[in-house]
Structure 1
Amino acid sequence: MNAAPDQTTPAHDSPVTTPGRVVLVGTPIGDRGQASDALRHTLATARLIAAEDTRRFRDLLRRLDLHTDARVVSYYDQNEAERTPELVAALADGDVVVVSDAGMPLVSDPGYRLVQAALEAGHEVTAVPGPSAVLTALAVSGLATDRFCFEGFLPRKDGPRRRRLAELAHEPRTMVFFEAPHRLADFLRDASSTLGGDRRAAVCRELTKTYEEVRRDTLGALAEWAVENARGEISIVIAGAPHDGEDDIDPLELVRMSISQGEKLSAAVAEVAANTGVNRKQLYAAALADRDGDR
């Protein structure tokens, strides 16, 4: 009697994909040598590839000396909502491979909508893991790595960016951010004024590329440096708030900062109280007296 065929589902670390899955592929963040055999096989045998930038993806194939017969479609912030239903429908005929310009999809890159829609439709989601700028920057920063949080890109406008940094003033974990080079100096200026100019940080640019540079210093010094030295792909790592409280920002000062950016007093007090743990009624009374004292 013949044995029944093996119907075991392939392990996720296998480069062989099965129909109907969303396959999230981590691409090199710099050096093409970061490309794994699993990545190469997945791209070479794919049926449909959703790429953040199709031109950059074609350039990646060229650098990796790879050929694919897959249909390649664009999948980026501006068309993500519109294209997601099309990609979910395509899962009925086989895998959909998702790639971003560099690193893992979904990490400050498109893909979340598709993952959610695919899961809701009953499809499997898996990954071919690859390099991550987040973990690479954290590892080379020289700052604590035991506990950290990823904040990605903060708001582009000054006011909202400062408010978010104020919310992070008492965050004890090491923080990792992304920023565009033309906004780096403004980001570091705001971080220095909000978190403290003596807070340790590292600016990591062009990680694993030819002109990789990691600048480790205080936020104040880095803000000055960045005015003339903001180029390339940027990751920023900032030390968490000190545990001894010596460098903590006065909650009343945080309220003043929010009010100066257009926030109402009551809303500013509620937000600061929630983030710092101070008594809301006492803070409101102090903020009210502070405001009336300026009149």
Structure 2
Amino acid sequence: MSVPNTTINIFEFMYSQYSTGFLQSLNSDVGSALSAALPPLSAALVIWVIILGYLMMTGSLDIRYGISKVSTMAIVVGIIASTSLYDSYVQTLFMKSLPSFIASTFSSGNTSNIPQSLDQTFNNFWVAGQIIYKKANCATCVLEPYVLGIEIELVLVVFFIALALVFAVYLIATTLTGLLVAIGPFLLIGYLFEATKGIPERWLGKLIGLAILLLLITALLSLFTGGMTDFLNTKVSTTFVADPVQTEIIILGEIAAYTAITAFITIMLPGIAAYIGGGVDFNISGIVNPANWFK
């Protein structure tokens, strides 16, 4: 007896609404702002190049320093002016290429869409509980189906809470990554001035830390969802035929416990990523107080 699929797509819907929609609007606003700021920035670059050229010609400025400064300014303004360059080397790399590669590598041929995988796992678990409950409905049983129904609901609540925590960490990581990528062109302007050069350097460090976090989360969730789906479609579905109902409920409880352990590991990943890359760390208190997300 195989476990059928249902049409509950709560995680994919939330990801689309709160992450994809938010980032699309943010990217549109940032693009409009950059288009307005580009003409004066280009004019300032021309004036600055003229001043540096005059200082180098008169010997008031070291030639190597002047050339390095002009090259840096040209690269920064070029990246800001060309949307395709920034999209190719920053936005696409951190938002699509790396997460998709990791998810495809660890998903064993399954979908690399993490929210969709979480929905599929929840749907399979939900249907498994329904099948067990229907098996318990017999003519001679009066209280047992209701007791089993309560047990199944409790296990389902634990399972859903664990999945929700896992999804929350994934959603926060992807949203923060998209936010930093979106505001990156503004922060890159800091490279033009000595006093603000540390701002884009810290931005890059945070972005690398978030990339490490997103890679860790994607790898863990890809392994979890793939293994959980295979387990539900093989181990659990075969026991539906032979094992008693209580044994099947115990199996569901074991799955919920395994999911809770996965959620605990996922919550620890921001600290691990921050330790490795010196980027972003957040926990339960950080979720309540967003000011604690950046250290």
Pairwise TM-score range, normalised by the shorter structure: under 0.3
- Which structure has the higher relative contact order (CA within 8 Å, separation 6+)? 2
Normalising by structure 2, report the TM-score. 0.23
Greater share of strand residues, 1 or 2? 1
